[in-house]
Amino acid sequence: MFSELIKQIRTLYPGREAISLHEPLFAGREKEYTTQAIDSTFVSSVGAFVERFEQDICAFTGADYAVATVTGTAALHAALLAMGVRPEDEVLTQPLSFVATANAINYCGARPIFLDVERDTLGLSPAALEDFLTTHTICRDNTCYNRATQRRIAACVPMHTFGHPVRIEEVVAICRRHHIAVVEDAAEALGSKYRGRHCGTFGDLGIYSFNGNKTITCGGGGMVVGHDKKLTDRVRHLTTTAKIPHPWQYRHDQAGYNYRMPNLNAALGCAQLEMLPAFLADKRELAAEYEKILVAVPALEFIREPAEARSNYWLNALLTSDREQRDRLLAACHKEKIFCRPAWDLLNTLPMYNDCQTDNLTTANWLADRLINLPSSVRQLNRQRTPEAV
């Protein structure tokens, strides 16, 4: 049944026996910059490339300040701490996400509350958020509390799933009315925009990931971005072991974290960021090819970028008719060494989070039964081509 689809996918990656979900591509000055970092002897968390990478991310996204971290998870953890999330607080988020979203909340000693997502964005539903806050919370002294648990709801973490933008302006506006901080999980969304503005720059703070499978990679790495210098300075302090700046003394004013990005990784990131416009153009071309292919396949639906959004198409995705069809397609692709994958298990179903509060999660459950991610690596870059505006 799926033989023609598999054949068509192979035409997108000619000459490959095995087609991975998402591979890195090093087609720029990666070796040159990492060699410079090695020659400088500054290979750890101090070095010129760290500062440059932070500045380059600001220039690309429109953020005013940025702090490079060792992973995207560390970035999210530090951002939540900087926003004042404390033990026994609660944080609103979505169940359709990588486990790091919930783990970072857990690291703070807080508990996630999982609210439903939208079918078109795959991300946190503003309607579900508004309904939960109206029905289940009360505000006292400009602080939001859960009526059932009496815990403070300290923050909201919307995630831009597979690079498709959440309706982030609506989410932020709702949270503002209820006195809830927004930490934007844009780990998968570097290069994605909502209403012309880069994802990651709408919330009080936002984060990106540069893991090996992301659109650009540092091997590992993350970034916290924001517009409030006091907040990003707080992140920088927390991620540098809370060390008080001094030429020689090592004094720390609280328990901090060794979360800063090494200069070697930042060198790689600087080179990758130079290639990002070309990567994004190639990925949009790939998405258009998938859409053409899937129009001809009954019962399969390509997931397009949402209205008023421009997606980076980090991972292309389709919807099957049901879980049985999903599993048959996955099995057929893996047999042919085309390494598609389903969506993550919903976070509320994992043993460490299955007692967390949720709403009905109708759409999240529906999507989890049907989603498949397709191979989405950047393919061949035509250096003569002028990339689309990003």
Domain boundaries, the chain: 3-23+276-373, 30-272
Q: What angle do CA 311, 316, 322 make, to 5 degrees?
A: 125
Spatial separation of the C-alpha atoms in residues 381 and 201, rounded to whole Å = 28
Minimum mean pLDDT range among 168-177, 238-247, 372-381: 372-381
- Please, are residues 139 and 177 in contact by the beta-carbon 8 Å criterion? no
Backbone angles phi, psi at 58, to 5 degrees: -60, -45
The C-alpha atoms of residue 92 and residue 101 are separated, in whole angstroms, by 11
Q: What's the pLDDT score for residue 82?
A: 98
The Cα 208–Cα 18 span in angstroms is: 29
How many Cβ atoms are within 10 Å of 59's Cβ, its own excluded? 11
Identical fold, 3-23+276-373 and 30-272:
no
What is the length of the chain? Answer: 390
pLDDT tens figures, 314-324: 999 999 999 99
pLDDT in tens, 202-222: 999 999 999 999 999 999 999
% of the chain residues with pLDDT over 70? 97
What CA–CA distance (Å, rounded) separates 25 from 283? 12
State the pLDDT at residue 381: 63
| Percent of residues, the chain, with pLDDT higher than 90 | 95
Indicate the CATH number of 30-272 among 3.10.20.30, 2.40.10.220, 3.30.479.30, 3.40.640.10. 3.40.640.10
pLDDT of residue 253: 96
The beta-strand segments (E) located in 196-265 are: 197-198, 205-209, 222-226
The CATH homologous superfamily for domain 3-23+276-373 is: Aspartate Aminotransferase, domain 1 (3.90.1150.10)
- From residue 186, give the alpha-carbon distance in Å to each of 72, 193, 351, 388: 9, 11, 25, 21
pLDDT class of 18 with cuts at 50, 70, 90: very high
Tokens encoding 156? 């909201």
- Residue 293 above 80 pLDDT? yes
Tell me the whole-structure pTM to 2 decimals: 0.96
Q: Residue 323 half-sphere exposure, CB side, CA atoms within 13 Å?
A: 7
- 183-200 pLDDT, tens digit per residue, is 999 999 999 999 999 999
DSSP state of 347: G
pLDDT in tens, 45-93: 889 999 999 999 999 999 999 999 999 999 999 999 999 999 999 999 9
Q: Which residue has the tokens 């989890």?
A: 368
Residue 198: phi and psi, rounded to 5, are -65, 135
